[in-house]
Amino acid sequence: MIICHVSGPTTQHSGPGFSVDAALMPQPDRRLEVSEAAWRVIVREGLDRTSMRAIAQEMGCTTGVVTHYFRNKQELILFALRQVKERLQAAMEQAVESVPGPDRLVVMLAAFLPLDSERQEILRVWLAFLGYAVGRDNLMADHQQSAAQLRTVIIQELEALKAQQILRSDIDPATEANALLALANGLSLDSLIQGQPLSLDQQRLVLQRYVKTLLIQD
C-alpha cells in the first residue's frame, strides 16, 4: 500500500477539491500498486464507476497521490491494460515451456482461458477495458495491436507445424490463427456469461478437438 505521508522529498499537487504532498517513490513499483488497486475496483464496481477518487480510497490515499503517477483515468487504464497483456503473455510462455508439437498450440491457447480465479479476474478486467475503448481511438488501437501480436505468434506456431509436416498441406496458417483465436475468445466469453457451463477439462477438449482437425491424420 502507498503511504501518503512519509518523510523525504515531496511534490506538491493541486486540483479540484484537493491539495496534497505526494511522496516521490520509485515509479515502476508504485505505478504497479496503483494499477493493481484499479483492477480491484474495476472487478468489484465496473469500469464506469471506477474513478481516480475510488482508486485512491482503495489504496487508503488521497486522489493527489494517484494523479502523481497518472495524469488521468485514461492514462491509468492504458497502463493497467498493458499489465493485463503482460500477465497473459507470461502465463502463455510459462505454459508452453518444454511442450512440443500440436500440444504446444493447445496449451498456448488454453493459457488465455479463464481456467482459474486469476485468469477469471483478468478476463473481467479485459472485457471492461474493451467496452471502455469503444469510441476512444488510442485505447482501441492498443487492443488491436495486442490482438495482432497474438495472431502473429499463433501463425508462427502453425507455420512451424506445417514445416514439420504435422499440419495438413491445405491449411492456411493466417486463416486458422483467426479461427483459433475466435474459438478461444468464444470459450472465454461463454464461461463468463453462462457461469462456466463447460468444465475446465471440457474447455481444453474443445481446443484439442479443433486443433486435431488441422493435423495430418495417420
Angstrom CA distances, 109 to 17, 115, 116, 131, stand at: 47, 11, 14, 23
Q: How big is the CA angle at 124 (ends 119 and 127), to the nearest 5 degrees? A: 120
For residues 81 and 142, is the Cβ–Cβ distance under 8 A? yes
pLDDT tens by residue, 44-100: 888 888 899 999 999 999 999 899 999 988 888 888 878 877 877 887 888 788 888
Tell me: pLDDT of 190 over 70.
yes
pTM of structure: 0.73
Name all domains of the chain by residue range, CATH numbers in brackets.
10-71 (1.10.10), 80-213 (1.10.357.10)
Query: Using the 8-state DSSP alphabet, how is residue 33 labeled?
Result: H
Q: How big is the CA angle at 120 (ends 34 and 129), to the nearest 5 degrees? A: 55
